[in-house]
Amino acid sequence: MSKEIIKENVVAAPTLFIGVGGTGCNIVKRVAEKCRPGEKENINFVCLDTNVNDLSDIAKSSAHIYYVQTSNTQTVGDYLDYDQDALKNWFPKNAVMYDKTVSEGAGQVRAISRLALNATIKTGKLKPLYDAIDDLFRKDGKALKQAMRIVIASTASGGTGSGIILPLSMIVRDYVNTKYPNTSLIVRSVILLPETLDSVIDSTAERESQRRNAYATIKEINAFMMKGSGFMDVGDSDLSRYKDLHIDFANPGTNELKRLSLLPFDFCFLMDGQNAEDTTMANLEQYKAQAAQALYEQNIGPMQANAFSVEDNIIKEMSNPGNLGRNRFGGIGAGVIRYPYEDIADYIAYGWAMDSIGGEGDVAKWSKYDHAYDVAKQDAIKKGLSQSEIPTRGEVYTGKLRTATDNFSKDLNARFLNDADKRIKNFFKAVDEEMIASLSTDSAIRATRDAANALATEIDYEDENNRGHAVENKDKLRNYEAMLRSRAKKVAANAAEALFMNENKTANEKRPCTLEFLLKNAFGEVCHPNAARYMLYQAKIEMDKRVRTTTSTLHNVILPRLELYAPDAYDTGMFDHEKTKRVEANLDDLCSAEQDPDKRKAIPLFSGGDNKFYEKLNELFPDYHKHIREFGECTAKLEAYTFGSEYLDDLCKMYESFFFSFGDKVQALERRQDDMVDALKFRKGDSTYNVCATRDLLNELVRSTIRQSEEGSMLESDLNGQIFDAVKSNVSFDREIRNADIVENDRSIDIFDDILLGYFKKDVRRRCDAIDVNIIEAIALENRLLSRLKMREEMQDSSKKLIDKVTNEDNVRHICEVIAMGERLAAPSIQRLRNEEAREVKLSAYNKSLLDMRAYRITDLLPKGSAVDTISRYELHFFNALYNLTPDKLSKFSCYSESETGVKNAGLYHNAYVTYSRNIGPDSTKNSLISTHIDKRWDSLSAMPELDFGFQERQMMKIHQALIYGLIHKVITYRFISTAAGGKKVYKYENSDERYVDMIVSNGTLCDEFYEILDSLYISPAVVEDMEKIKEKKRARDKVRNSNYAGTTFAKDLAEFHLDILHDGETSLFEIPIAYYNSLPSSLRFVNEISGLVNAVIQTFKDELAQWENPNDAKFLLCDLLKKQFMLMVDNFEQYKTLNRGGKVSENPVIDIIYRRVRASFSTAPEPDDYEQALEEMRARLR
């Protein structure tokens, strides 16, 4: 198989990925690590987190990622000391949090994360983020034709991510818009909702905390989407009261604040527990993997262009007034159908390796001879033999291999060992020759040898020119001997080391004197490792024998003979006269006497004349030369044998170590196969499906790809050579570090994994063309394998052949099923809306080589798929996006509702938020509950709109009615602040425990203006809830008395109701909206607020009548009550300047609203008989 070449995707638009919080950072890290080098050219990655531990993992990533720690070791209290805006305005102050160290994380308090971000901005530590943006705009000569893309990933449920994501989106948009005003910008986000984290959260309380955080996060984003789209700045709309919605940021280098209210995201993709197919994932890791894959496909992968072109069309719908800019929410998903060719090839290779070795433990073919040694050793020990009497491993190993009768041993002997003795003999002959020849490589030895070589044979002394040189010739021999004694050992040692430890590859070595050549049979095939060990053991045995015999020859024969020719050798008997036993001379005396007459006389040899003298020299010089030569040769061979013995011992031990690892290695192989099956297994919730990857299918593949080799049970010669080369390399490294204290670079080779398994891996890829198929062919192969498994299960006789009856139509059907599965795996990570048309984008991509298939037409299988060269031929990629969603329609964010068809309970996240926030008080220092928002003021409906406008209306009705009931029942009263306050009065609230409580307004001061009562109630959900208790307590007493409306506490308190700031005497409830309007600063007079308050008055009467009166009578009683209240209001308006302020009834905008609302109430069925007359009477009072 040739290596597949996959091109890199081209990302033309400058793209920035930002991870916020631990989970968001992890997602961005995954995206970064998915990118191939060239794909990052126009992309940068940034991670921000308060938790230093999470950021340390990011810093270790193989990808280049900018990172910002938005915290330090300071506490929350320290931060607040330097952020007066936070302290005074938006941070939910609470003594419990002041000592918390921010670098440990935000602890699910979202405002802490915003506080830390503010400090990061103020101190200029957000620079890495700005650097990452600026880097994308560096001059490169290319035209910036595409809008910049920014993608922010976070959760909505923790503290850090959900607290930063909204303000951060505005910061980056503002930075790009300000610094690069000519560049368009599209900001997208992927936000994980709480249920995606359920697998890592055990505490119910923590889950509830995450759910309410999520609701608060999406509520804020939803509000700023409307604000950023301009819908809060349009006239006197329902949203105009929020026109000042903004976030204040620190401005580096100044004490000023920067106010931003920009569109946070062009698209906000949510990822929840259930996706568009109503299926879920099992754990957080799967959700993060899905998010990363989807972001990669959308922004980097081959489907990016198609994905964005669809978005361009959807953007047009954002300006639809009915959507109010909120339909920017959606979901994305991605899936991959993958044929794990590399893993499958490895799985088969592991099977081939185990089959070759023969399994693990004692049954392993390769290890049986070592087991024989273990048995022999135990038997010897049992017999009491001494250590020296116990047979060696080499002896038992070689003997067992030679005599074993199993097929494996027979094969080894027949193929590699039938000429073993001859090869060993030839090897040592070649070694001897090589070592002898090595002496000639030394110039000094060679020079003295050449000078002395003439004396190796007899000299013709008849030639007078040859006489008179005895001393000179003797010195030549002495020089030759001396040179060998001083240099032969060293020269031979170097030669032996070079010979045995040569670095030539075994397969290439052709010198008979090398071990590499010894391990080859007559055909040049390298021995199987078992046969190699045999040859090495035999060579070691022979080598040790030769060390002993050569040492003996050197010391007992050659050296004693050389001693006869030593300068001090007088007692050798070599110069004794034939007729006497007197010691006469040595070689030196003999040679020096040739030119000295006096010395001649002392030597009896000269009595025979010169001929006898020269005959003796011709006897002595050749003999001396022969012994010198034998000394050199013996020394050289002994060095080779000595080094060779040590080296062979090392080789044998290294082979033994290799073999001893088999048990663990084979077990590890089986574990690897198990781990591979486990890794490839499709688990519910995964976004990637691996074809042909179950254990049964993999084993069926192994069965159908049984290794067919000319070598039979033997290994290929090339592999055997690689194994011996690795053994040599390890021995060399081991000898190198044997005496080292520190080894800086481990060059050892794992022979089993790197060589043996590596070979089988290559062999599978070289031989098994049947498994090297593209993804479509692999799915068809899977269908065939499934069919075979079914047939095997049905067959009683396992020896029968299987007949594959799968048709092409069967394969196509299975291919279509798997493709449909891939599309479902890519389902957007948010539930579809019921009964509404979804704007959904479904894309797919495949390698363009699939267009060349003959058996299957990819264009029919994936008619809308894209043929590309940037994904593998082994994969199909799917991307799915869901657009045009508003969060109020998502089930978990939806509020409680009733209709004719039934009741719909509040969504999980909505309920968690509302249940918690209803008990939040205006002063967080006196309330244990901490705001879920990044600005505590946003707890108030007056500061931030709800997701569902219907729910908002009901909540505002509840607040307005709390004002009404509080005033009627005199639990909200205008009282002196204290006896020492000089007559200053404020509004106080008497709670259900009958204790007076200060009413605090949004600016943190006491409530001293009438309009501020409503402001106080907006930021005091707990008071509103407590008012419900008071109302129900009063009703409970009335129920005991079985009262009708006229006898209720409400009716009685209404009769006594009056407002001190207006007038004494009977007061209409309709005067409350007038009083509220009159007390308001003109900038805060919102028609919708006044209308809501009027509606609350009418609804209060409706509620009371519905509670106490027969339904058939309630409507008629209501009309009568409203008429009386209206007339009373008009009377009082005309009478009291505190009400009319000099104005006329007909000109008062509040009265106009009251009249129109009353008229609407009258007009609803059933209509009283006199309702038209009543309306005319009221209308007449307005003229």
User: What is the full DSSP assignment across 859-886?
Assistant: HHHSTT-EEESSS-TTEEEEEEEEEEE-
| Distance linking the first and last C-alpha atoms of the chain | 96
C-alpha to C-alpha distance for 789 and 1134, rounded to whole angstroms: 95
Q: In whole angstroms, how far apart are CA 102 and each of 68, 160, 213, 627, 847?
A: 14, 10, 18, 90, 48
C-alpha to C-alpha distance for 489 and 817, rounded to whole angstroms: 78
Residue ranges of E strands in 777-860: 839-847
Is the per-residue pLDDT at 292 higher than 70?
yes
Instruction: Categorize the per-residue pLDDT at 310 as very low, low, confident or very high, splitting at 50, 70 and 90.
Output: confident
- DSSP 8-state code for residue 417: I
Residues facing residue 1006 across a β-bridge: 1000
Name 467's Cβ contacts closer than 8 Å, sequence gap at least 6.
461, 594, 610, 614
Give the number of other Cβ atoms within 10 Å of residue 203's Cβ. Answer: 9
C-alpha to C-alpha distance for 728 and 653, rounded to whole angstroms: 11
Is the per-residue pLDDT at 403 higher than 80?
yes
Place of tokens 């048309």: 837
Q: What is the pLDDT of residues 546-573, one digit of tens each?
A: 999 999 999 999 999 999 899 887 766 6
Q: What is the pLDDT of residue 362?
A: 43
C-alpha to C-alpha distance for 851 and 860, rounded to whole angstroms: 11
**CA-wise closest residue to 569 among 597, 598, 590:** 590
At how many degrees (to 10) do helices 610-660 and 420-438 cross? 130
Place of tokens 């002495």: 478
Is the per-residue pLDDT at 42 higher than 70?
yes
DSSP labels for 632-661?
HHHHHHHHHHHHHHHHHHHHHHHHHHHHHT
486-500, 575-589, 765-779, 879-893: which range is least confident on average? Answer: 575-589
Is the per-residue pLDDT at 706 higher than 80?
no
C-alpha to C-alpha distance for 1037 and 1042, rounded to whole angstroms: 9
Is the per-residue pLDDT at 591 higher than 60?
yes
Three-state DSSP class for 503? coil
What phi, psi does 245 have (nearest 5°)?
-60, 130
Contact 269, 188 (CB under 8 A): yes
Name 405's Cβ contacts closer than 8 Å, sequence gap at least 6.
none
Contact 1062, 1082 (CB under 8 A): no
Is the per-residue pLDDT at 710 higher than 50?
no
Strand duo 996-998 + 985-990: pairing: antiparallel
Contact 1028, 959 (CB under 8 A): no
Three-state DSSP class for 125? coil
pLDDT (mean) for 166-174: 95
Q: What is the pLDDT of residues 264-274, one digit of tens each?
A: 999 999 999 88
Three-state DSSP class for 47? strand
DSSP labels for 144-212?
--S-EEEEEEEESSSSHHHHHHHHHHHHHHHHHHHH-TTS-EEEEEEEE-GGGGGGG---HHHHHHHHH
Q: What is the pLDDT of residue 144?
A: 61
Contact 1149, 1065 (CB under 8 A): no
C-alpha to C-alpha distance for 839 and 828, rounded to whole angstroms: 11
Contact 634, 546 (CB under 8 A): no
C-alpha to C-alpha distance for 154 and 132, rounded to whole angstroms: 18
Q: Select the more confidently predicted residue: 240 or 602.
A: 240
Q: Is residue 3 exposed (0-12), middle (13-18) or buried (19+ Cβ within 10 Å)?
A: exposed
pLDDT (mean) for 961-967: 94
Is the per-residue pLDDT at 1000 higher than 70?
yes
Residues facing residue 331 across a β-bridge: 882
Q: How many CA atoms lie within 13 A of 104 on its CB side?
A: 10
Residue ranges of E strands in 296-350: 329-338
DSSP labels for 693-715?
-SHHHHHHHHHHT----TTTTSP
Q: What is the pLDDT of residue 1114?
A: 83
Strand duo 972-976 + 985-990: pairing: antiparallel
pLDDT (mean) for 445-456: 93
Residues facing residue 689 across a β-bridge: 337
Let me know the angle formed at the C-alpha of 440 by 438 and 446, rounded to the nearest 5 degrees.
150
Percent of the chain scoring above 70 in pLDDT? 94
Residue burial 458-488, b: 16+ Cβ < 10 Å; e: rest: ebebeeeeebebbeebbbbbbbbbebbeebb
Three-state DSSP class for 1173? helix
- Left if phi > 0, otherwise alpha if psi is -120 to 50, otherwise beta: which for 1117? alpha
Q: What is the pLDDT of residue 1175?
A: 86
C-alpha to C-alpha distance for 507 and 501, rounded to whole angstroms: 15
Q: What is the pLDDT of residue 219?
A: 96
pLDDT (mean) for 871-884: 94
Name 859's Cβ contacts closer than 8 Å, sequence gap at least 6.
851, 865
**CA-wise closest residue to 1125 among 1150, 1103, 1097:** 1097
**What dotted CATH number matches 15-333?**
3.40.50.1440
C-alpha to C-alpha distance for 991 and 602, rounded to whole angstroms: 147
Q: What is the pLDDT of residue 742?
A: 77
C-alpha to C-alpha distance for 170 and 264, rounded to whole angstroms: 6
Is the per-residue pLDDT at 314 higher than 50?
yes
Contact 1162, 1119 (CB under 8 A): yes
Contact 231, 150 (CB under 8 A): no
At how many degrees (to 10) do helices 393-403 and 368-382 cross? 120
Q: What is the pLDDT of residue 330?
A: 92
Place of tokens 């991605």: 334
Q: What is the pLDDT of residue 45?
A: 95
What mean pLDDT, rounded, does the chain reach?
Answer: 88
**CA-wise closest residue to 294 among 44, 45, 28:** 28
C-alpha to C-alpha distance for 209 and 223, rounded to whole angstroms: 21
Does the reported pTM lie above 0.85?
Answer: no
Cis preceding linkage at 1166, omega within 30 = yes
Residues facing residue 877 across a β-bridge: 336, 845
DSSP labels for 264-297?
--SEEEEE-SB-TTS-B-SSHHHHHHHHHHHHHH
H or E segment to which residue 37 belongs? none
Q: What is the pLDDT of residues 985-995, one digit of tens each?
A: 899 999 999 89
Residue 291 C-alpha from the chain's centroid: 12
Instruction: Categorize the per-residue pLDDT at 496 as very low, low, confident or very high, splitting at 50, 70 and 90.
Output: very high
| Cβ contacts of 1075-1080, under 8 Å, gap ≥ 24 | 1075/1010, 1075/1139, 1076/1010, 1076/1011, 1076/1014, 1077/1149, 1077/1150, 1078/1138, 1078/1139, 1078/1141, 1079/1009, 1079/1010, 1079/1011, 1080/1011
Contact 335, 826 (CB under 8 A): yes
For residue 332, which amino acid is it? I
Let me know the angle formed at the C-alpha of 1099 by 901 and 946, rounded to the nearest 5 degrees.
65
